[in-house]
Amino acid sequence: MIVSTAHKAKGREWARVRIADDFTPLKDSDQQDDSGRPVPGPIENGGARLADVAVTRTRQRLDMSGLSWIDDHPEGNPARRHRGIDSATTRHAAVISFATSTPG
Asked if 23 contacts 66 with a C-beta cutoff of 8 angstroms, the reply is: yes
Supply the pLDDT for residue 95: 59
Beta strands in the chain (DSSP E): 2-5, 14-19, 28-32, 38-40, 58-63, 94-97
Is residue 68 assigned to a domain?
A: yes
Is residue 70 assigned to a domain?
A: yes
Is residue 36 assigned to a domain?
A: no
**Across the 104 residues of the chain, what is the mean pLDDT of every consecutive 10-residue run?**
88 91 84 85 84 90 86 62 40 52 47
Is residue 103 assigned to a domain?
A: no
Asked if 77 contacts 85 with a C-beta cutoff of 8 angstroms, the reply is: no
Amino acid 88 reads A
Total number of domains constituting the chain: 1
Is residue 37 assigned to a domain?
A: no
Supply the pLDDT for residue 12: 92
Q: Which domain range does residue 84 map to?
A: 2-23+42-97
In sequence order, the β-bridge partners of residue 63 are 18
The candidate with the shortest Cα–Cα distance to 49, out of 101, 92, 10, is 10
Is residue 28 assigned to a domain?
A: no
Supply the pLDDT for residue 84: 40
Is residue 102 assigned to a domain?
A: no
Residues 6+ apart with CB under 8 A from 51: 6, 23, 67, 70, 78
Supply the pLDDT for residue 97: 58
Is residue 12 assigned to a domain?
A: yes
